[in-house]
Structure formats: structure tokens, C-alpha cells
Chains A and B, each alone.
Chain A
Amino acid sequence: AQKVTQAQTEISVVEKEDVTLDCVYETRDTTYYLFWYKQPPSGELVFLIRRNSFDEQNEISGRYSWNFQKSTSSFNFTITASQVVDSAVYFCALSEATGSARQLTFGSGTQLTVLP
């Protein structure tokens, strides 16, 4: 069975600090997909990134970067020079390639608060 663990329940930083959100996953599949979603106070879930298990290159998009380490089963998310608008709950999720459901298994989320 697949599982996603986000050990950090809440993180608080001051604006302009860098912050890393941890995500550790468990799966028996060799092919799988990892996702990050953002849930701002408005409540919507916003898709941020999808990576497949064969691509371990780190990804950078503006102030966001993702570090995928297969050896440690981790897919961490770093926000550089954080801003107040980054305050949200961030979810890491896993989808296995086998089976027809293709469901997402979500972590419990990390509440990030960026203080001015």
C-alpha cells in the first residue's frame, strides 16, 4: 500500500526566509508519480508540480524548487525568499502507475505561515 508522510504539521517563518517542506513516501511500485498541491486560505487545491519516478532531476520554478531523492524516498519542496502570499497548507501526494483507480494518496499536509 502507498503512504505519504509529511512530518511537519506547522511551520512558521518570517518573510524572505527560505523554507523546506518535507515529504517522505512509501510504495512498492517501481513506477509512480509524485505531486505537490497548495491549499491557500480560500480553500482551493492548486496543482504545483508532478514528477515521475524515472526523473530524479531537481526542478526549479521561480522561487519554488523540488528535490526528488529516490534513495531516501523523499520529494521535498523549498520556497526561497518566502512571501506572505505563500501562507497555505501544502500537500504532497503519490499516485502509483498500476491499478485502474490511479488515485492520489495525500499526506496530511503542512501548514506554512509566513509572517511579515
Chain B
Amino acid sequence: DARVTQTPRHKVTEMGQEVTMRCQPILGHNTVFWYRQTMMQGLELLAYFRNRAPLDDSGMPKDRFSAEMPDATLATLKIQPSEPRDSAVYFCASGLKRDSGPPDTQYFGPGTRLTVL
């Protein structure tokens, strides 16, 4: 039963600290998405990768957030410096997008619950 994995599951940190969240997409998937979920904003897309290349990161605060895919099995989302308003659940999702096919179904990881004090 293939699943998206995310680490850590929970993170509590102090304002100003760097936070790194990791995601392992389902083997064979070529798209990776990062979402943030808060009570006020719901689910927001932060970044989207296809074949490890960033295609859309318009939802991400550029000054403090960065997303990368060092290889096909690892995606990272970094916040530096973190702020209390970054407290949220961060989800990673992966899918398989074929060139001429429909949008991929996204399979979500369990999320990282981030609390910035």
C-alpha cells in the first residue's frame, strides 16, 4: 500500500528558527504539491513540482519559504526565519501526470503540524 510520507509529524519551534519539512512521494509519481491548511484560509497551494522542476510557487511567501526536490524521492519545504503566523498543517501530495493526460489525482501525506511560538 504505497503512501506519501512526511517528517516530522509535529514540530514546535520558536520564532526566528529555521524549519525544514520533508516529503517522500509515492514511488513512480512525478508530481509533488505542498499545501498549507489553516482554520482561516483552508487548504492553500504553496508549490507544485513536476519531474522535480518547480512549475508554480506563486502561493509561497518568497522571502522566507523555499521548496526544493533534491531527487525524485525527496521534496523539502523550508521556512527561514519562521514566524507565529506560519503555524499550520503542511501537507505534501504526489501524483502521476502524463504529458497529454488529465490532471493527476493527488495523494496526500499525513501532514506536518507546525507550531511557531
Chain A residues engaging chain B, CB cutoff 8 angstroms: 33, 35, 37, 42-47, 50, 52, 91, 95-97, 100-104, 106, 108-109
Of B62-70, B71-79, B107-115, the segment with at least 4 beta carbons within 8 Å of chain A is B107-115
Asked if A91 contacts B43 (CB within 8 A), the reply is: yes
Across-interface contacts of A37 in B (CB, < 8 A): 108
| Closest CB in chain A relative to B4 CB, distance in Å | 9
Main secondary structure of the interface of B (DSSP, over half): strand
Q: Of A33, A35, A45, A100, which contacts B56 at CB under 8 A?
A: A100
Interface string of B78-117 (1 = CB under 8 A from A): 0000000000010101000100001111111111010000
Chain B residues engaging chain A, CB cutoff 8 angstroms: 31, 33, 42-43, 45, 48, 50, 55-56, 89, 91, 93, 97, 102-111, 113
- Complex CA gap A43/B103 in Å reads 24
Asked if A100 contacts B55 (CB within 8 A), the reply is: yes
Across-interface contacts of B107 in A (CB, < 8 A): 47
Q: Known: A101-B55, A101-B56, A102-B48. Contact between A47 and B43, CB under 8 A?
A: no
